[in-house]
Amino acid sequence: MTKEIVVCKGRRAELWSGIVTLPNGARVRVDRVKFPNSVAVLPLFSDGTVVLLKQYRPAVEDWVLEAPAGVVEPGEDPRSAAVRELEEEAGLKADPNRLILVGEGYVSPGYSTEVMSLFIALNPEESKARPEEHEVIETVKMALPEALAKVRDVKTLLLLYAAKEIVKE
């Protein structure tokens, strides 16, 4: 970007605006959200069940059924963040060696810098949840086909379809 300014700064996100020259030479105004990288992790058990979170999301003013997820803290690697988030939000302890990296990519490259790493945790053990103050969460265990029918969150759908392939094996 030629010149960029911070339009708004929130708890974790910043809205930036500036002028950029595109590869075709056009100069356009670009608004983007600078957001930390993140992880999502789906707990998958040998009986084909998964644990999801029923979480109230103020941005959409609704309850969302989704995989545990959160930001990668400064100096933390995505695998460690996935283990931490799973325990904090769902009360499940994952063995880092039993985490499958499904993939990594931009969440919404049209306006955000966020890159998300997606993991499946095989047979995590019970632990104690430690949700943050702003998290209103219930854990829900269900069969994979039921989860596929109910979930409307895209990152979680991707993880559920990846889990479906693992269960086939």
Catalytic machinery residues:
133
Beta-carbon-side half-sphere exposure of residue 58 (alpha carbons within 13 Å): 3
Rounded CA-CA distance 4/75 in Å is 26
Rounded CA-CA distance 120/123 in Å is 10
The three-state (H, E, C) secondary structure of 2-35, written as one string: CEEEEEEECCCCEEEEEEEECCCCCEEEEEEEEC
Phi, then psi, of 22 in degrees rounded to 5 = -80, 165
Which residues is 69 bridged to in the sheet?
40
Q: Which of 126, 142, 164, 13 is nearest to 66 (CA)?
A: 142
